[in-house]
Amino acid sequence: MLPLYVTSGEPAGIGPDICLSLADRIDERPIVVLADINMLRDRAKILNKNIEIIEFMGQTESSASGQLYVEHVPLYEDVVLGELNPQNSAYVLEQLHRSADYAMSGKSVGVATAPVQKSVINDAGIHFSGHTEYYQEFAGVNRVVMMLATKTLRVALATTHLPLRDVADAITKARLHQVIDILIHDLKTKFKINHPRILVCGLNPHAGEGGYLGREEIDTINPVLEDYRTQGIDMSLSMPADTLFTPENLKNADAVLAMYHDQGLPVLKSQGFGEAINITLGLPFIRTSVDHGTALSLAGTGLAKGSSLHVAVDLALDLARN
């Protein structure tokens, strides 16, 4: 049975800690962590975890409780807990490279990712915008969509890691068509929602207030949404974000499309931080991720919670069954 790979992310952060918590699971499908095996063994000792860490050599059986499969990826330098080291940036990127390569070549069912620290990778002289953009480039697809989800809410983003001053210019009819096409396709194919109902945030306060607070809704967003509505897609016109996220509006929605990162994600994370997950739509393979960062100050303390990683693994396994 093909494995699910899990990247351990930034070695000085909590990624290795939460990956060790995967040893508590019993899954039919093998789960394999990409990490320096010696570093993981050292971290387990620091955390007083009695785990049998097994080097993965192509086993197809699932691990037992208390066991963890690890594919060894060697560090470049020893890790100091909580201290970023640009010399290990290539180690982090090797995890991503292997996970993407295995998924693209049919050697795995997909990947779940622990957090990385974008800043230290850029400090190493390597341009890196994030996991989402890395996997997009590796897969050679024109557009991917970042969607975060809790048990009760899914929020997809029209734009992702852009400065706020650049967002309006980035929201074009072409981009919106690409994003919405991917969102509808993956809701139907990956999540098995045959007739998704999608609510869409406006860009401006009050969705532009009829043009008095901006014309993006009138000139760009609503004309695109009308195209889908005439095709029978259950999609709102642009709605003020401050009232869209109310229980009455959300109770029958399958997903929300937000125009920018901090428009939709604070609401979602306030509902389920630590148990939300990130899904990259539009890739030819499954990729899920945690909803949090590297939490450098918690590394090796035993205070890091692995709940988001477990939910990410659960969803990846569920999607692999579909």
Annotated binding site for substrate: 131-132, 269, 278, 287
| DSSP code, position 3 | P
Q: Which residues contact 228 (CB under 8 A, 6 or more apart)?
A: 180, 184, 235
Q: How far apart are CA 198 and CA 200, in angstroms?
A: 7
- Which residues are documented as binding site? 131-132, 161, 206, 261, 269, 278, 287
Sheet holding 145-149, edge to edge: 52-55, 67-72, 31-35, 4-7, 110-113, 286-290, 277-281, 145-149, 154-157, 255-258, 197-201, 234-239
Q: Residue ranges for the binding site for a divalent metal cation?
A: 161, 206, 261
Q: Residues 6 or more apart from 147 whose CB is under 8 A from it?
A: 154, 155, 156, 157, 183, 255, 278, 279, 280, 281
Helix (H, G, I), strand (E, B) or coil at 140: coil
The single-letter code of the amino acid at 27 is D
Smallest Cα–Cα separation from 207: which of 253, 159, 241?
241
290 vs 131: CA distance, rounded Å:
11
Half-sphere exposure of 121 (CA within 13 A, CB side): 21
Q: Which residues contact 60 (CB under 8 A, 6 or more apart)?
A: 1, 3, 30
Give the whole-angstrom CA distance, residue 306 versus residue 49. 14
What are phi and psi for residue 206, nearest 5 degrees? 60, 25
Q: How far apart are the first and last CA of the chain?
A: 15
3-state secondary structure of 7: strand
CB 34 within 8 A of CB 49: no
